[in-house]
């Protein structure tokens, strides 16, 4: 079974956009804490939790208890995406007569707990779990608490009770976003260590300063610490918690408040404030412009791919691109599913198998079984029937569905019917077959055209730029419409993979910021551009934005 | 009054009844917070260990775990001393128990049954004498408030609230109490019980002060004053019709409770009567002052300090009558 990576990502994006829609319409609400837990909720609802939106009170359902109830826009948005009600209802958020109250309310289908008065969720979940135990029921309870919320003494009363009664059907997830209403948690009431100065990122980097998990460990809990925005880590942690018997589990998920919108990220102001209506469209574009970096390991030491995978994982790649070549579809041979199976245990990071092989329909199951999370096949060796079969196999196994085209290939007509359901499209910008080639310049124009066509066909996936991508052309590729970037020699070929990935992100982010300024200008001229830039009060972003705006002649 | 009275213990009756309930209804669960021996709920735990939870000295947790159990279909009885529930946990009671509503089901099915309500706690002192619980609990939507006068009432009400959906608060006294009601007495939520008919004035009481009301009525009878006595155990919902009728027919009401006179039982009656059929009302209760330590034999002195005595009830009845 794959991670269901792209489906989760797509739903998380939809939910984030609904949060903006809802809070903007309401003129108030809590986007910051909704965004920090966005991936967590996405994984829970679209991978783990058993529920039936047509029958919200189905007895066997798993329970999702949002203890940090102020993040209700995040919960409601996810429930809408999950099918409990029409997404348009989000615009009634906080309105008189709405089912979508300022804090979660049982009026809204799918809501299990009226959270918001903080510190209550774990106790309530324990009660639910104890009842399930008496009744011999097997459902699980997932409880999301905040870090600011953990100032509440009742959290720790519940922590003891859960251990006493061996409540192992409950998984608590702490959304550790380091911010509470007044300011940074470590300033108001340190959970880790007192924050000296204002640089939150220092806190993030230095694991020796993380004490939150130790508190829970000392209470007897099974503690799993992860990056709460990485789907594969959330997936790993939840699985680990499910397997742990006899003690309760808590996942300390380090997150970023306001994640996904640069001016909200790590900014305490956005704990409980809605975006201005004129800013919302820019936020929408920003949310649509997320991107991923995927190193291709064949650019490294082929005799030690294990080490290359490790380097990519340590380098915080979004996923790892695995070029499978069979020596027939392309002249070279690299490795097959057997090697992938060997590499799989090294990391939880998603594996994207790019199958440059003939008759992929015959082999695709092997790659599913090897543990790939995304599988891409070439349009040149598929037709409607075989791709349809591949599509179905992949979907059944929660594996992402990718299609690839060579530089001299256009999207075949038969693929049109799959576009809206495609997870990613690889636009090859070198002739596949070997690493180290130069980017074919005409690929820029091709990607731009494709990007338009795909949009017309309601494509919701990522265009992946693959072949000769480097720091010089990545920005332009982003402007063309690419949102995933495969880096061979330019990443894996470098000594400091982590450093170079950071550089890639910086470069692409720069282009993205430029694009957003242009969009802002389009929506509301220089005035809106300046207004939007003014929102970027945390870190160094503002200076770069002002510079970009100048370059564009907007001031 | 030299007649010897049979004294019974409310908590003992409560503990016994829970075990009977547990046998009848497998969904009944009982929770405590390190006072289970005193509340007599520990025995339930011996009989039904899998349905009994002692969460330690953590009342906020107690109340919220009970809410969680109720959310999964359990009838959850959560018990400790009065001072530690309404006063300490009003937020959890409000938000985790009373507030969550789905369709016709208003609030969750949690029964908060406490002991040691009011001044009669005695020796433990004012810090432990909860004289604000009626005020707190009756202000919470969906919450119903019951103050039994004796162990018969405790037994009957424990059964009734286990069968009626929704949140209840029932306050027992620490001290042993004389029997007021016959075993055959029927109880209904929202209905007061007229213990003695009369036409000159009404005395309404709840909890252990019902006995004082009866004594006052008896002594007034010697003086030719005929008093109606009502056991207003159902403080919320209150029996508006019964008190309106009493106002019409007797022309005045004296209320008595071991609770602050502000926002308590007397206030609830005054609200109803002033809107429906205004007549003079005198409220007897803690005089907006905290209590203080009093050993068992001194509890009458503590009551006397606040005017919670049959003598004072009789005095207030006469005051009302002299004005009318």
Could you tell me if A152 and A250 lie in one domain?
yes
With 60 as the cut, is the pLDDT of residue B4 above it?
Answer: no
User: Cβ B99–A128 below 8 Å, yes or no?
Assistant: no
Residue A547 CB: number of other CB atoms within 10 A?
Answer: 12
Condensed to tens digits (0 to 9), the pLDDT of residues B282-291 reads 999 999 999 9
| Chain A residues closer than 8 Å to B56 by CB | 157, 160-161, 164
B237 at interface of A, judged by CB pairs closer than 8 A? no
Please name the residue that has the structure tokens 């609200």.
B271
Q: How confident is the model at residue B198, as a pLDDT?
A: 98
- Taking alpha carbons only, the member of B133, B142, B228, B232 closest to residue B187 is B232
User: Cβ A124–B55 below 8 Å, yes or no?
Assistant: no
Boundary-marking domain end, from A494, A513, A533: A494
A15, part of any domain: yes
Host H or E run for residue A467: none
If one counts the domains in chain A, the total is: 3
| CATH code: domain of residue A151 | 3.40.50.970
Could you tell me if A56 and A113 lie in one domain?
yes
Asked if B216 and B227 touch (Cβ cutoff 8 Å), the reply is yes
Q: How confident is the model at residue B324, as a pLDDT?
A: 60
| Chain A residues closer than 8 Å to B77 by CB | none
Domain B7-178 in CATH 3.40.50.880: no
> Which B residues, 57 through 116, put their C-beta within 8 Å of a C-beta on chain A?
58, 60-61, 64-74, 76, 91-92, 94-96, 99-102
Q: How far apart are CA B294 and CA B124, in angstroms?
A: 8
Q: Which two tokens stand for residue A146?
A: 């905040």
Based on its alpha-carbon atoms, the radius of gyration of chain B, rounded to whole angstroms, reads: 19
Domains of chain B by residue range: 7-178, 193-323
A286, part of any domain: no
First-last CA distance in chain A:
52
> Could you list the active site residues of B?
59
The separation between CA A552 and the C-alpha centre of its own chain, rounded to angstroms, equals 31
Q: How far apart are CA B177 and CA B161, in angstroms?
A: 22
Closest residue of A to B106, CA-based? A106
Could you tell me if A268 and A385 lie in one domain?
no
Could you tell me if A101 and A134 lie in one domain?
yes
Condensed to tens digits (0 to 9), the pLDDT of residues B100-115 reads 999 999 999 999 999 9
Task: Indicate the residue of A105, A128, A157 with minimum beta-carbon distance to B68.
Answer: A128
Cβ-based contacts under 8 A for chains A and B: 102
A454, part of any domain: yes
Q: Which of A116, A123, A155, A156 to mutate to test the interface with B (most CBs of B within 10 A)?
A: A123
Boundary-marking domain end, from A276, A301, A317: A276
Q: How confident is the model at residue A196, as a pLDDT?
A: 76
Asked if A401 and A375 touch (Cβ cutoff 8 Å), the reply is yes
Task: Indicate the residue of A133, A153, A161 with minimum beta-carbon distance to B65.
Answer: A161
Closest residue of B to A132, CA-based? B72
Q: Which of A124, A137, A139 to mutate to test the interface with B (most CBs of B within 10 A)?
A: A124
Query: What's the DSSP call for residue A179?
Result: B
Three-state secondary structure of B111-152: EEEEECECHHHHHHCHHHCECCHHHHHHCCCCCEEECCCCHH
Give the residue-averaged pLDDT of B77-106.
97
- Taking alpha carbons only, the member of B77, B104, B101, B97 closest to residue B140 is B97
Task: Indicate the residue of A106, A129, A158 with minimum beta-carbon distance to B100.
Answer: A106
Could you tell me the pLDDT band of residue B2, with boundaries at 50, 70 and 90? very low
The domain defined by B193-323 folds into: Rossmann fold (3.40.50)
* The B253-260 sheet, strands edge to edge: B193-196, B227-231, B201-205, B253-260, B281-286
Condensed to tens digits (0 to 9), the pLDDT of residues B106-155 reads 999 999 999 999 999 999 999 999 999 999 999 999 999 999 999 999 99
Condensed to tens digits (0 to 9), the pLDDT of residues A154-199 reads 999 999 999 999 999 999 999 999 999 998 898 899 998 777 777 7
Q: How far apart are CA A174 and CA A156, in angstroms?
A: 13
User: Cβ A127–B69 below 8 Å, yes or no?
Assistant: yes
Collapse the DSSP code of A265 into the 3-class scheme (helix H, G, I; strand E, B; otherwise coil) and give the result: coil
| CATH code: domain of residue A452 | 3.20.20.70
Q: How confident is the model at residue B306, as a pLDDT?
A: 97
Domain B193-323 in the same topology as domain B7-178: yes
Averaged confidence pLDDT in chain B: 97
Could you tell me if A82 and A223 lie in one domain?
yes
A397, part of any domain: yes
A281, part of any domain: no
Asked if A127 and B86 touch (Cβ cutoff 8 Å), the reply is no
A282, part of any domain: no
Could you tell me if A106 and A234 lie in one domain?
yes
A465, part of any domain: yes
With 60 as the cut, is the pLDDT of residue B3 above it?
Answer: no
Find all residues with CB under 8 Å of B206, minimum gap 6, and list them.
Answer: B147, B149, B231, B232, B233, B235, B256, B257, B265
Could you tell me if A484 and A511 lie in one domain?
no
Residues of the domain holding A344: 291-494
User: Cβ A154–B67 below 8 Å, yes or no?
Assistant: no
Condensed to tens digits (0 to 9), the pLDDT of residues B193-246 reads 999 999 999 999 999 999 999 999 999 999 999 999 999 999 999 999 999 999
Q: How confident is the model at residue A228, as a pLDDT?
A: 96
Q: How far apart are CA B143 and CA A347, in angstroms?
A: 53
User: Cβ B99–A114 below 8 Å, yes or no?
Assistant: yes
Q: What string of pLDDT tens digits covers the 555 residues of chain A?
A: 888 999 999 999 999 999 999 999 999 999 999 999 999 999 999 999 999 999 999 999 999 999 999 999 999 999 999 999 999 999 999 999 999 999 999 999 999 999 999 999 999 999 999 999 999 999 999 999 999 999 999 999 999 999 999 999 999 999 999 999 998 898 899 998 777 777 776 766 677 788 999 999 999 999 999 999 999 999 999 999 999 999 999 999 999 999 999 999 988 889 889 999 999 999 999 999 999 999 999 999 999 999 999 999 999 999 999 999 999 999 999 999 999 999 999 999 999 999 999 999 999 999 999 999 999 999 999 999 999 999 999 999 999 999 999 999 999 999 999 999 999 999 999 999 876 789 999 999 999 999 999 999 999 999 999 999 999 999 999 999 999 999 999 999 999 999 999 999 999 999 999 999 999 999 999 999 999 999 999 888 999 999 999 999 997
A161, part of any domain: yes
With 60 as the cut, is the pLDDT of residue B1 above it?
Answer: no
Closest residue of B to A61, CA-based? B72
Given the cut 0.90, state whether the ipTM is greater than it.
yes
């Amino acid at each position: 079974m794959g991670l269901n990576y792209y489906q989760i990502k797509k739903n998380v994006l939809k939910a984030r956009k609904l949060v903006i829609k809802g809070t903007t319409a309401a003129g108030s609400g809590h986007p910051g804490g909704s965004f920090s837990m966005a991936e967590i909720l996405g994984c829970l609802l679209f991978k783990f939790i058993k529920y039936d939106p047509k029958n919200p009170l189905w007895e066997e359902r798993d329970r999702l208890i949002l203890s940090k109830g102020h993040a209700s826009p995040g919960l409601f948005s996810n429930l809408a995406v999950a099918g409990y009600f029409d997404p348009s209802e989000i615009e009634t958020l906080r309105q008189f007569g709405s089912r979508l109250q300022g804090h979660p309310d049982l009026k809204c289908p799918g809501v299990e707990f009226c959270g918001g008065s903080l510190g209550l969720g774990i106790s309530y979940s324990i009660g639910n779990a104890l009842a399930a135990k008496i009744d011999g029921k097997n459902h699980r309870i997932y409880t999301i608490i905040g870090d600011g919320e953990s100032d509440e003494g009742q959290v720790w009363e519940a922590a003891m009770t859960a251990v006493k009664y061996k409540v192992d059907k409950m998984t608590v997830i702490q959304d550790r976003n380091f911010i509470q209403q007044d300011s940074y948690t470590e300033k108001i009431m340190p959970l880790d260590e007192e924050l000296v100065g204002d640089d939150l990122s220092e806190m993030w980097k230095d694991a020796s300063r993380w004490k939150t998990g130790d508190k829970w460990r000392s209470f007897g809990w099974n503690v799993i610490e992860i990056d709460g925005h990485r789907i594969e880590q959330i997936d790993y942690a939840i699985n680990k918690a499910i397997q742990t018997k006899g003690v309760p589990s808590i996942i300390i998920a380090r997150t970023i408040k306001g994640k996904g919108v640069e001016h909200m990220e790590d900014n305490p102001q956005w704990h409980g404030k809605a975006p201005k209506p004129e800013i919302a469209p820019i936020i929408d574009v920003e949310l649509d412009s997320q991107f991923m970096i995927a190193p291709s390991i064949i650019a490294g030491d082929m005799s030690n791919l294990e080490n290359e995978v490790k380097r990519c994982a340590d380098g915080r790649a979004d996923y790892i691109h695995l070029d499978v070549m069979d020596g027939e579809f392309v002249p070279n041979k690299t490795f097959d599913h057997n090697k992938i199976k060997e590499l799989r245990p090294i990391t939880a990071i998603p594996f994207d198998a790019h199958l440059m092989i003939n008759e992929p329909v015959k082999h695709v199951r092997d790659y599913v079984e090897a543990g790939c999370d995304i599988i891409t096949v070439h349009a040149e060796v598929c037709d409607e029937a075989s791709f349809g079969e591949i599509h179905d196999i992949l979907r059944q196994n929660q594996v992402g569905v990718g299609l690839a085209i060579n530089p001299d290939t256009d999207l075949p007509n038969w693929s049109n019917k799959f576009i809206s359901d495609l997870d990613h499209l690889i636009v090859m910008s070198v002739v596949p077959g070997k690493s180290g080639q130069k980017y074919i310049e005409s690929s820029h124009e091709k990607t731009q055209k494709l990007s338009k066509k795909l949009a017309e066909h309601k494509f919701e996936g990522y265009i992946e730029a693959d072949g000769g991508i480097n720091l010089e052309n990545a920005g332009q590729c982003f402007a063309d419409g690419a949102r995933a970037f495969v880096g061979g020699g330019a990443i894996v070929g470098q000594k400091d993979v982590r450093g170079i990935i950071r550089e890639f992100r910086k470069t692409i982010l720069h282009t993205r910021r430029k694009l957003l300024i242009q969009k802002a200008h389009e929506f509301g001229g220089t005035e809106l551009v300046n207004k939007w830039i003014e929102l970027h009060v945390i870190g160094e972003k503002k200076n770069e934005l002002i510079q970009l705006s100048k370059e564009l002649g907007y001031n | 009054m030299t007649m010897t009275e049979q004294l019974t213990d409310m908590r003992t009756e409560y503990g016994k009844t829970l075990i009977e309930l547990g046998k009848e209804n497998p969904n009944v669960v009982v929770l405590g917070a390190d006072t289970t021996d005193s509340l007599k709920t520990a025995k339930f735990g011996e009989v039904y260990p899998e349905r009994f939870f002692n969460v330690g000295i953590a009342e906020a947790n107690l109340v919220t775990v009970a809410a969680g159990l109720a959310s999964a279909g359990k009838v959850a009885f959560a018990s400790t001393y009065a001072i530690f529930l309404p006063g300490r946990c009003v937020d959890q009671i409000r938000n985790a128990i009373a507030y969550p509503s789905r369709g016709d089901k208003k609030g969750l099915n949690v029964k908060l049954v406490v002991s040691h309500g009011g001044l009669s706690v005695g020796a433990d002192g004012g810090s432990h004498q909860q004289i604000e619980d009626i005020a707190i609990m009756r202000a919470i939507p969906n919450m119903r408030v019951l103050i039994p006068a004796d162990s018969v009432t405790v037994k009957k009400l424990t059964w009734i609230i286990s069968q009626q959906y929704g949140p209840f608060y029932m306050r027992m006294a620490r001290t042993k109490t004389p029997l007021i009601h016959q075993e055959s007495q029927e109880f209904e939520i929202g209905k007061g019980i007229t213990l003695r008919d009369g036409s000159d004035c009404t005395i309404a009481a709840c909890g252990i002060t019902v006995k004082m009301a009866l004594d006052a009525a008896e002594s007034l009878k010697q003086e030719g004053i005929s008093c109606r006595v009502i056991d207003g155990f159902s403080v919320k919902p209150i029996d508006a019709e019964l008190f309106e009728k009493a106002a019409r027919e007797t022309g005045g009401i004296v209320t008595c409770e071991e609770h602050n006179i502000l926002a308590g039982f007397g206030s609830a009656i005054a609200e109803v009567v002033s809107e429906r059929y205004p007549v003079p009302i005198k409220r007897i209760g803690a005089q907006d002052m905290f209590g203080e330590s009093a050993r068992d034999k001194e509890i009458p002195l503590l009551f006397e300090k606040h005017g919670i005595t049959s003598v004072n009830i009789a005095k207030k009845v006469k005051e009302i009558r002299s004005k009318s």
